[in-house]
Structure 1
Amino acid sequence: MWREIEADRSHRVDVSGGQVSVYDFGDPAATDTLLCLNGGPGLPCDYLREAHSCFIDQGYRVVAFDQLGTGASDRPDDPALWTIARYVGETEAVRQALGLGRVHLLGHSWGGWLGIEYALTHQQALKSLVLADTNADMPHLVCELQRLRAALGPETVAMMLRHEAEGSYAHPEYAAAVSLLNYRHVCRLSEWPAPVNRSLGDWNMGPYGTMQGPNEFLYTGNLKDWNRVPDLHLIKAPTLILCGQHDEITPACALRMKQHMAHAEIKVFPNSSHMPFYEEPEAYHAVLSDFLGRQRSA
């Protein structure tokens, strides 16, 4: 299960736009590496790193990094850097700098979008792909988010639309509606784990606003029209798709990916939203351990 572990090694890696901080756990001679791409964009990797570094107990090397603009990495103030293509190059720079070889790539949320783009660009670098609480078709996700918002009731939806039209995202009533959606569809625990709060408390809204938008339920950034469903069939790596029943990126989004991938399997966690590794950790780790175990090097 998840626990906070000090990294065995830390690295600074040159990427386009600056340097990133990398956290390296386990035996560097291990034949299997789990490379984690966290969500956001704009979040430090704490919440995902602490939930997966425990896989060193099963003999994996686990690597996570603060993406450029986050955590202990450099924080340039240049919106031109916040593109998915640049982040693909950043991920490859980390893999090569640490000499990781072929990896098991796990992308959560925005990290899943990045993982899909990485898989389509550097397929030879993958042993397997894990797409956790993510999607491949942003317009479809927007429709799903509108459905989730509608459950708040027509008056609340009308209020949210008014504030969105005016750009008054900080208004208390709008913020309250977003907070309720977060507790329903991001993490359903009454007390959020310390690594989650630590990541959220250090959120760089520059990359987030440029790429996604003002919050989890409104997409206005440069990824709002992103859709890789037509290309998913090109991904040949064995793929595990994970999501929560109450996920903001809904089971319908997960199913849409699976239907277009030849080598994918799917698991929906019935009591989770966007963070099953904290909401249902035993079930989550069992499923992920089984999948990775079937893809391990001999």
Structure 2
Amino acid sequence: MPMTEGFIEVTGGKVWYQRHDAMTDRTPVIVLHGGPGSSHYSLQGLRVLAEDRPVIFYDQLGCGNSDRPNDTFLWNLDRFVEELGQIKEALSLDEFHILGHSWGTTLAAAYYLSKPEGVKSIIFSSPCLSAPLWAEDQERNRKLLPLDVQQTLKTCEANGTTDSKEYKDATTIFNKHFVCRLDPFPEFLKKGAHYKNPEVYNIMWGPSEFHVTGNLKDFDCTSELKDIHVPTLYTCGRYDEATPASTEYFSSLTLEGKFHVFEQSAHMPYLEEPEEYVRVIGSFLKEVDDKK
């Protein structure tokens, strides 16, 4: 497929984007990666969706191939919403689908609720639409871990030693249960670790997936999900830290909300069940397009 890439000027610097064009006139989908401070790297396999439609990736400011400015005041939700609007304008996207994963769903929701034009549908993949509810879910998930791991996490958080090797090792065990259950852990992901920016993650989220201390800790848009008036798909893995119960709850609040669980996955079904993930996402996008 034809592919173009380049940089777009946004508030605070330049962001890198990549567009995979299709031989069809179907509506493009823009992919919002997780993090905050991650990159499109782990999601790049979704370029196969370009068999049906243009697929647009970009690395949010501060990570991946994009600029990494030192201004910590840039790391807030409103600026990332503004950034997405600037990308939409630069790429002349009159109408488009949004596929957000993890923190990308927070961004997708906040962007849509700012009332932009042109959003045709939204896919909330492993959603985080309420940081308080996410934190509650992780408290329950932590209780499923071995007792010594639970104690290590609790002690390090109480002592402020979340940057210690003990805490990181315990976090790895949590991740094997609820983030990516592939064993061995993909070398592909290890090689892409340098694309992440831990500073952005720490400022906005915290020291780990389950210890929320950053400026997103009070984010909660559940009361506004009723205001989403486009077709919406909510998905998660059976063992996802974005739990099936919470994901289904979110979907029930949206008039045109659909819900799907990937039965063999945790938080990364696009890697854990790639064929099934692409099938479900692709079918939803085609169904929305064919409603015309």
Q: TM-score range by the shorter chain?
A: over 0.9
8 Å Cα contact 2:152/2:170 also seen in 1? no
1:163 shift after superposition: 0.7
Q: Name the CA shift for 1:56/1:66 in 2 (closer, same or farther; >3 Å).
A: same
Aligned-partner Cα distance in 2 for 1:28–1:67:
27
Deviations 1:192-231 (A, max 9, x none): 4455334433211111011000111211000011100011
Secondary structure of residue in 2 paired with 1:124? coil
2:178 is aligned, of 185, 195, 202, to 185
**Aligned counterpart, 2:49:** 55
**Aligned counterpart, 1:16:** 11
Q: Name the CA shift for 1:256/1:111 in 2 (closer, same or farther; >3 Å).
A: same
**Aligned counterpart, 1:35:** 30
Aligned-partner Cα distance in 2 for 1:79–1:126:
30
Residue 147 of structure 2 is aligned to residue 147 of structure 1 = no
**Aligned counterpart, 1:112:** 105
Give the percent of matched residue pairs that are identical in Structure 1 and Structure 2: 33
Aligned-partner Cα distance in 2 for 1:123–1:237:
12
1:169 is aligned, of 122, 138, 162, to 162
| RMSD of aligned residue pairs (Cα, Å) | 1.7
**Aligned partner of 1:224: which letter?**
K
**Aligned partner of 2:151: which letter?**
A
8 Å Cα contact 1:136/1:253 also seen in 2? no
**Aligned counterpart, 2:260:** 267
TM-score by length of 2: 0.94
Aligned-partner Cα distance in 1 for 2:165–2:76:
31
8 Å Cα contact 2:22/2:51 also seen in 1? no
Q: Name the CA shift for 1:190/1:251 in 2 (closer, same or farther; >3 Å).
A: same
**Aligned counterpart, 1:45:** 40
Q: Name the CA shift for 1:34/1:234 in 2 (closer, same or farther; >3 Å).
A: same
Residue 195 of structure 2 is aligned to residue 202 of structure 1 = yes
Aligned-partner Cα distance in 2 for 1:71–1:253:
30
Q: Which runs of 5+ in 1 are unaligned?
A: none
1:52 shift after superposition: 1.1
TM-score by length of 1: 0.93
1:250 is aligned, of 234, 243, 266, to 243
Secondary structure of residue in 1 paired with 2:139? helix
Aligned-partner Cα distance in 2 for 1:218–1:252:
20
Q: Which runs of 5+ in 2 are unaligned?
A: none
1:121 is aligned, of 114, 117, 120, to 114
> How many pairs are equivalent?
291
8 Å Cα contact 1:36/1:62 also seen in 2? yes
Deviations 1:50-94 (A, max 9, x none): 121111112x00001010001121110111101111001101111
Aligned-partner Cα distance in 1 for 2:115–2:99:
14
Runs of 4+ in structure 1 off by over 6 angstroms are none
